[in-house]
Structure 1
Amino acid sequence: MTSILMILLYAIKIFYYIVIAHVVMSWLITFNVLNLHQPLVYQIWSGLNRLLEPIYGRIRNFLPNMGGLDLAPLVVFFGLYALQTIIINNLYSF
């Protein structure tokens, strides 16, 4: 059981880095450092959007409209951190 929880912790860490990559890439696209007309940038951006938009969409339904500020990644970070803390605190009870 411990090995399954360790694998789950590793998956949470990978997902954490995917969310960070999405946030940083959105900033770089917004400030015109990256251009979506480049094929590689577009493929990475669309792949990250396909991974994260189903999660962000459900969170955005519950959050109030903040104008141009998107708080969905912040909620995902808190959720991942809470899940990681719960798993670590209960890891050795199995």
Structure 2
Amino acid sequence: MSDNLIYLIFKGVEKAFQIYSILLVIYILMSWVPSMRETKFGQILAKITEPYLGFFRKFIPPLGMIDISPIVALFALNLISAGVFSVLKIIFL
């Protein structure tokens, strides 16, 4: 396989994880202003991020009024991306 194609695959996967992480952070910050989640942008973000965040909310209950599941979700996303890159390195390199 061409080195250029491998580079594009790695960069594409890296960008996808970065974009999803940014979307998660934006959605989490939107929770501080509840009316923002009711906007069209907030609803679209909810459709994209809630399935992933919902998985963690099932297992990690909120501590009072503080929900730590998004922190765990972001940490897990970083671990998942590292795992995906390890697998890609094994496959392509």
Q: Work out whether the TM-score is over 0.5.
A: yes
What code does the residue aligned with 1:80 have? L
Aligned to 2:79: 82
Tell me, which stretches of 5 or more residues in structure 2 are unaligned?
A: none
In the TM superposition, structure 1's runs of 4+ consecutive aligned residues that sit over 4 Å from their partners are: 87-93
Secondary structure in 1 matching 2:21: helix
CA distance in 1, matches of 2:26, 2:59: 24
2:59 is matched with 62
* Structure 1 unaligned residues grouped into runs of 5+: none
Q: Does 1:49 align with 2:52?
A: no
Indicate the SS of the match to 2:65: coil
How many residue pairs get aligned? The number is: 85
- Asked whether 1:25 is paired with 2:30, we answer yes
CA deviations on 1:54-86 (whole Å, 9 max, x unpaired) are 111111111134232112211221012213333
Q: Pick one of 12, 15, 32 that aligns with 2:20.
A: 15
* Percent identity of paired positions between Structure 1 and Structure 2: 24
In 2, Cα distance between the equivalents of 1:92 and 1:54? 28
Q: CA deviation at 1:92?
A: 4.8
User: What do you get for the CA RMSD once the two structures are aligned?
Assistant: 2.4
SS class of match (2:39)? helix
Q: Which has the higher contact order (CA 8 A, sep 6+)?
A: 1
Bigger Cα displacement from structure 2, 43-52 vs 9-18: 43-52
Aligned mates of 2:87, 2:51 — CA distance in 1: 29
